[in-house]
Chain A
Amino acid sequence: MGKYIGKSIKRREDIRFLKGTGRYTDDIKLPNMTHSAFVRSPYAHAKIQNVSTAAARKADGVVAVFTAEDGCGEYGVPCGWQVNFKNGDTMREPVHPLLAKGKVNYLGEAVAVVIAETLAKARDAAELVDVDYEELPAVTNPRDAMNEGAPLVHDQWADNAAFDWCIGNDRIAVEEALEAAHHVTELKCRNQRLAPNALETRSYIADYDVNNDKYTLYSSTQNPHLIRLLLCAFVLGIPEHKVRVISHDVGGGFGSKMFHYTEEALLTWVSKEIGRPVKWTADRSEAFLTDAHGRDHVIHAKMGFDKDGKILALLSDEYCAMGAYLSTLAPAIPTYLHGTLFQGVYTTPLIHLNVIAPFTHTVPVDAYRGAGRPEATYLLERLISKGAQELQMDSAEIRFKNFIPPFDGVSQPGYQTQVALQYDSGNYEGTLTKALEILGYEDFKKEQDKARKNGKLLGMGISTYIEACGAAPSAVVGSLGARAGLYEVGHVRVQPTGKVNVYTGSHSHGQGHETVFAQFVADALGIPMEDVQIVHGDTEQVAFGMGTYGSRSLAVGGPAILKSVDKVLEKGARIAAHKLEAAVADLEYAEGKWTVKGTDKSVSFGDVSLTAYVPHDYPEGLEPGLDFSSFYDPVNFTYPFGTHIAVVEVCKDTGKVDLKRFIACDDVGNVINPMIVDGQIHGGVAQGVGQALLEEVVYDEAGQMINGSYMDYALPRADDLPFFETSNTVTPCPHNPLGVKGAGEAGAIGSTPAVVNAVVNALAHLGVTDIQMPLTPQRVWKAMQN
């Protein structure tokens, strides 16, 4: 531990956020800027007979109106991950047009865009665009999309499957093991569709500079460099060095701002057409309709146990919605980020998952906080708790029986799963033991007995999760279909006065990189944190980067920076040795200075950096300057894990669930800033509880979203939640120099099944074994009636 690492240092960025002086994309006003409004489909599926823009073009303040006829969007926005059919057939990949041509495939799909002098004028004129639609039948449920005769999303294929994929052991072997098992627990459920609901809606400004033939795109993205690459190389075919993507402050994303959206590309194209900057910011209704949604799996799973509760086999058949088009990472989410977690924290010897991924007449589905891993955790943790209930075993005991034993990944090897991954290090029983202690398990059981005697419905649910973060070794993800590498870039520029700028390719959308990265850089250099500035979110300041998602920033971005710090110190040592007239081998570096071992002769970091830039008396043959950039490609994913326990009381009269306690004991490896990790866990748990109890995107038969506003889509509020009891254990990651694993998604992954397990546990004596999410009062009450 250094001076800063491990300390709950307050977040630097919060000063501007709390004062309202952050700089989000919508805050930017460029000279001569125009505004845009989209004309969006009111149908989930319809033929476009005609688009008439004449009236809109003539409206007051209108600069231009564009439709698909204007020659944009022929190639569409690309998908970044290819998952093929298990029989070897290539993934079906429809063109995802910037503006719909001939047919609309989801509610809210853009048909035209109106550019005007003000936003109000753009909105008014958008209403004058007259689109003739012929409504067609739609399918929104992924299981229904595979029914014989289901409406086709893309007519060129015989059915709606984008791919049909499997992972794990041989299916027949798994089925035979289930057949022979003492007990088989079955789960038929839907991991429901969620809207991401970032606080800041998506916002873009495109600015074409005719003098330099250069584009600047301001984007509320998690992923500036990747957006630039996709925009240039795939969508618009413009040279990459002619595009700058700037992403200042970003107000949350939960994954939804990772992807390359049609509006980004279209506005970039429009800006050149009109020769002026153009802005678009989604309103909340558009966010509901057009941000890529999360989850949406229809699941039929089985877990086989022996008579002692040991898991023998796991089989799951799932239909996982892709939506109308393949979003940037969509195919990876229910496959390589889902099936690869089916080992969980258990020694299950036989595992098989089959995923059919249908197109549906909905907005695309892609990564949402946890992305595939919450769905895996939900299934595993519901199955094992349901299994315990059916076998009349204790839900903690059955987990202890099945845990993979502790291993540190250093003196003991990593754990090879049945589903491709090798875990780095883990102590799964450790977090359960600690969480049960915090709960006071024995006391809880007595309390529960007493509550039941008094007619109260008290329940407790456990979830022992694992996730794969720190994406990822490029060669590995490449072999799994990724069309990008997943390394990170860290650039350390020491200024002549010894002050340090750090450029990272990861990009904060709320996580606190500016604080955390400065903490470990300051410690590594032995200088005050105030002397370290973190720069991110600009493709012309940061050499390259793969952005922030999948809890990767610190685990992948951190080591990239440290590699550059090492290079700085290595070169600095040569300069210091010259100044001290000593050999490099005789120097030691601590607290910001190089000292000749065993003497009091030393030279400071600032002296050395000044010498590097004023190299009058300087080592022969050494380049001036102190400025290094590094790429870091991890050797493995990282595997955070933990135990979440929920305690609930269910109102017997109304079915309303009162979450009374929530205990989270997480192991995210080493912790640089405990307060920030706690904050990540808190936010994640709130979101996971939201999925368990409140949230769901609901479509009607025609594919209309019936709850696309906060009047009808319920997000958790402060008074829905108790004070969380957070704690942790530390099992360092053995393969990165910081020993960190990532904390951004853990809360959302672990919490959901803990809450559902708790509610089912509260009603277990009434014979309830499962309730579909979200566990609304109505669903819980109805479960009690049956």
Chain B
Amino acid sequence: MIPAKFEYKKATSVSEAIALLDEYGMDAKVLAGGQSLLPAMKLRLNRPGVLIDIGGINGMNEITEEGENLVIGANCTHAEIAGSELVAEHVAILAQAAATIGDLQVRNLGTIGGSLAHADPSADYPAVVLACDAVISVQGKKGSRTIAATDFFLGIFNTALEEDELITAISFPKVDKGTYQKFYQSASRFAVAGVAVVWSGDHVKVGITGVADTPYRANAVEEAYDGTGKAASKAVDGVEVMSDHFADAEYRAHLARHMVRKALEG
């Protein structure tokens, strides 16, 4: 469990991190909480030449209320999010999801920015950012921009982030009512099917993770929603469902529909 040799760079500011990313390009990896990256490096499945540690950058782990939004710094840990009073008050579904991630050690170190950038298809946050219509703030050498959550996830471990870009914060519109329902994989405790539902008036927004190789908004469910759980039958419409030894496609599709129903029925 010893990683291949790498160089370690500690960034003290976002701009320094971006400069380093620009300098080292594909050879560099950004280290946030390290809870996915470091195990992969120890197994030598991932062997970056340079690690750019953004963990010490000031101001990246704050949770602030900005009008109708709650802005979460990218370096906020799952434990900080799960335990935050502000999150509990304004985007409770996010705290609910954060509390289901990994175990206490993982939650104490892993960060929301790291998780989103890593884009594991079974991670929990993607379902929530999709259902909340969160906006992801990123910064790169060309400057800052924002990416809508629905545009962010492109595939397995693949996002709309450019090579030199860093997630700095995630902005969540405040949520009146929402719920995250997760069926755990028994070994890793990632989501076999994770469903986030956010209500706005009579409508719902439904984000699903763990089911396809890219987390997605279940548009068919949203359109068919009639105030009951019936629309859940459309949870995997048009989706290629993943299959592994814990859950084949048939069972996983069933779980997705079941978890959507459970979420819709509140």
**What size tier do the contact residues of chain A reach?**
20 to 34
The reply to whether A714 and B2 form a contact with Cβ atoms under 8 Å apart is: no
23 A-B pairs with C-beta separation under 8 A: A120-B5, A123-B2, A124-B5, A127-B4, A127-B44, A285-B1, A654-B183, A654-B258, A694-B186, A698-B245, A707-B187, A712-B187, A713-B187, A714-B187, A715-B187, A776-B186, A776-B246, A777-B186, A777-B247, A778-B246, A778-B247, A778-B251, A781-B251
- A86 is an interface residue with CB less than 8 A from chain B: no
Residue of B2, B188, B248 near A778 (CB, 8 A) is: B248
In the complex, which residues of chain A have a beta carbon less than 8 angstroms from the beta carbon of B254? Answer: 781
Residues 220 to 254 of chain B near chain A (Cβ within 8 Å): 245-248, 251, 254
- Give A390-416 as 1s and 0s: 1 = Cβ < 8 Å from B's Cβ atoms: 000000000000000000000000000
Chain A residue with Cβ nearest B187: A714
**Quick check: A654 and B255 within 8 Å, CB to CB?**
yes
> Which residues of chain A from 95 to 129 have a CB within 8 Å of any chain B CB?
119-120, 123-124, 127
Given contacts A653-B262, A698-B245, A777-B247, 8 further A-B contacts (CB under 8 A): A119-B2, A120-B2, A710-B188, A712-B187, A713-B187, A714-B186, A778-B247, A778-B251
B103 to chain A, nearest CB (A): 9
Closest to B186 in A: A714
In whole angstroms, how far apart are the Cα atoms of A656 and B251 in the complex? 12
Counting from the closest, the 10 A-B pairs by CB-CB distance are A714-B187, A714-B186, A711-B188, A778-B251, A283-B1, A653-B258, A120-B2, A123-B2, A712-B187, A698-B245
CB distance from A162 to the nearest CB of B (A): 28
Q: How far is the CB of A279 from chain B (nearest CB, A)?
A: 14
Q: Contact between A711 and B187 (Cβ–Cβ < 8 Å)? A: yes
The CA of A698 and the CA of B246, in the complex, are separated in Å by 11
- CB within 8 Å for A710 and B248 given contacts A119-B2, A781-B254: no
B-chain residues with CB within 8 Å of residue A712 when the two chains form the complex: 187-188, 245-246
Would you call B156 an interface residue if the criterion is a C-beta within 8 Å of the partner chain's C-beta atoms?
A: no
Q: Mark B252-266, 1 if CB is under 8 A from A, else 0.
A: 001100100010000
Least distance between B265 CB and chain A CB atoms (Å): 12
Min Cβ gap A121→B in Å is 10
Which chain A residues border B1 with CB–CB below 8 Å?
Answer: 283-285
On B, residues with C-beta under 8 Å from A are 1-2, 4-5, 43-44, 183, 186-188, 245-248, 251, 254-255, 258, 262
Flag whether A274 is at the interface (Cβ < 8 A). no
Set of chain A residues within 8 Å of B251, measured between Cβ atoms: 777-778, 781-782
Within 8 A of B (CB), among A734-786: 776-778, 781-782
A283: nearest residue on chain B (CB-CB)? Answer: B1
Return the chain B residue nearest A119 by Cβ.
B2
Q: Does A706 contact B (CB under 8 A)?
A: yes
Q: Closest residue of chain A to B189, judged by CB?
A: A717
Interface residues of A in 698-738 (CB under 8 A from B): 698, 706-707, 709-715, 720
A712: nearest chain-B partner, CB-CB = B187
* Distance between Cα atoms of A776 and B262 in the complex (Å): 21
* A654 CA / B256 CA spacing, docked (Å): 10
The interface residues of chain B lying within 8 Å CB-to-CB of A123 are: 2
What is the CB-to-nearest-CB distance from A272 to chain B, in angstroms, rounded to a whole number? 27
Give the residues in chain B near A777, CB-CB below 8 Å.
Answer: 183, 186, 247, 251
Question: Nearest A residue to B248 by beta-carbon distance?
Answer: A778
Query: CB < 8 Å: which of B5, B245, B262 contacts A707?
Result: B245
A residues less than 8 Å from B43 (CB atoms)? 285, 709
Tell me what chain A mostly uses at the interface: helix, strand, loop, or mixed: loop
A123 CA to B246 CA in the complex, in Å? Answer: 32
Q: A241–B248 Cα gap in the complex (Å)?
A: 57
Least distance between B81 CB and chain A CB atoms (Å): 21
Residues of A within 8 A of B246 (CB): 712, 776, 778
Cβ–Cβ < 8 Å partners of B187 in chain A: 694, 707, 710-715
A715→B188 CA distance, assembly (Å): 10
Q: Inside 8 A of A656's CB, which chain B residues have their CB?
A: 183
Interfacial residues, chain A to chain B (CB-CB below 8 A): 119-120, 123-124, 127, 283-285, 653-654, 656, 694, 698, 706-707, 709-715, 720, 776-778, 781-782
Residues of B within 8 A of A284 (CB): 1
Looking at the assembled complex, report how far the CB atom of A708 sits from the nearest CB atom of chain B, in whole angstroms.
Answer: 10
CA distance A713 to B246 in the complex (A): 10
Complex CA distance for A710 and B185, rounded to whole angstroms: 11
Cβ contacts under 8 Å, A706 to chain B: 245
- Among A123, A653, A698, chain B packs the most CB atoms within 10 A around the CB of A653
CA distance A694 to B187 in the complex (A): 8
Q: How far is the CB of B261 from chain A (nearest CB, A)?
A: 8
- Is A124 touching B247 in the complex (CB atoms < 8 A)? no
- A710 contact set on B, CB distance < 8 A: 187-188
B204 to chain A, nearest CB (A): 20
Which chain A residues border B186 with CB–CB below 8 Å? 694, 714, 720, 776-777
How far is B248's CA from A337's CA once the two chains are assembled, in angstroms?
37
> Within the assembled complex, what's the spacing in Å between the Cα atoms of A778 and B252?
9
**Contacting residues, chain B, for A776 (C-beta < 8 A):** 186, 246
Please indicate the chain B residues that have their CB under 8 angstroms from the CB of A715 in the complex. Answer: 187
User: CB-CB < 8 A to A781: which residues of B?
Assistant: 251, 254
A127 → B minimal CB distance (Å): 8
CA A119 – CA B258 in complex, angstroms?
49
Q: In the complex, which residues of chain A have a beta carbon less than 8 angstroms from the beta carbon of B188?
A: 710-712
The minimal Cβ–Cβ distance linking A197 to chain B, given in whole angstroms, is: 12
Q: What is the distance, in angstroms, from A396's C-beta to the closest C-beta of chain B?
A: 31
Query: Which residues on the A side are within 8 Å of B4 (C-beta)?
Result: 124, 127
Query: Could you say which residues of chain B place their CB within 8 Å of the CB of A653?
Result: 258, 262
Nearest chain B residue, comparing its CB with the CB of A776: B246
Minimal Cβ-Cβ distance residue in A for B4:
A124
Bound complex: CA A782 to CA B250 (Å): 10
Docked complex Cα distance between A720 and B184 (Å) = 12
Docked pose: A711 CA to B102 CA in angstroms: 10
Residues of B within 8 A of A285 (CB): 1, 43
What CA separation (Å) do A284 and B2 show in the bound complex?
Answer: 12
**Chain A residues whose C-beta falls within 8 Å of the C-beta of B262 in the assembled complex:** 653
B263 to chain A, nearest CB (A): 13
CA distance A777 to B4 in the complex (A): 38
User: How far, in Å, is A190 (CB) from chain B's closest CB?
Assistant: 15
Q: How far is the CA of A563 from the CA of B184 in the complex (A)?
A: 55
Query: How far apart are B9's CB and chain A's nearest CB, in angstroms?
Result: 20
> Complex Cα distance A781/B251, Å?
8
Q: How far is the CA of A720 from the CA of B245 in the complex (A)?
A: 20
A653 to B187, CA, bound (A): 20
Name the residue in B5, B186, B246, B248 with the highest tally of chain A Cβ atoms < 10 Å from its Cβ.
B186
User: Closest chain A residue to B255 by CB distance?
Assistant: A654
Q: How far is the CB of A781 from chain B (nearest CB, A)?
A: 6
CA distance A347 to B251 in the complex (A): 43
**B192 to A, closest residue via Cβ:** A777
Report the separation of the CA atoms of residues A698 and B248 in the bound assembly, to the nearest whole angstrom: 15
Which residue among A119, A694, A713, A714 has the maximum number of chain B CB atoms within 10 Å of its CB? A714
| Closest Cβ–Cβ distance, residue B41 to chain A (whole Å) | 12
Rounded to whole Å, the gap between the CB of B241 and the closest CB of chain A is 13
Tell me the complex Cα distance, A456–B246, Å.
24
A653 to B260 alpha-carbon distance, docked (Å): 12
CB distance from A776 to the nearest CB of B (A): 7
Q: Which residues from chain B contact A720 at a C-beta distance below 8 Å?
A: 186
Within the assembled complex, what's the spacing in Å between the Cα atoms of A709 and B40? 12
Give Cα A706 to B187, complex, Å.
Answer: 13
Task: Report the minimum CB–CB distance from B28 to chain A (whole Å).
Answer: 20
Q: For residue A779, which residue of chain B has the nearest CB? A: B251
- Whole-angstrom distance between the alpha carbons of A237 and B186 in the complex? 47
Which residue on chain B has the smallest CB distance to residue A710?
A: B187
Distance in angstroms between the alpha carbons of A713 and B187 in the assembled complex = 6
Question: Nearest chain B CB to A541's CB is how many angstroms away?
Answer: 33
Residues of chain B contacted by A654 (CB below 8 angstroms): 183, 255, 258
A654 to B44, CA, bound (A): 36
CB distance from B179 to the nearest CB of A (A): 16
A776 CA / B192 CA spacing, docked (Å) = 13
Q: Which residue of B lies closest to A716 (CB)?
A: B186
Docked Cα-Cα span, A120 to B186, in Å, equals 33
Q: How far is the CB of A759 from chain B (nearest CB, A)?
A: 15
Q: How far is the CB of B123 from chain A (nearest CB, A)?
A: 13
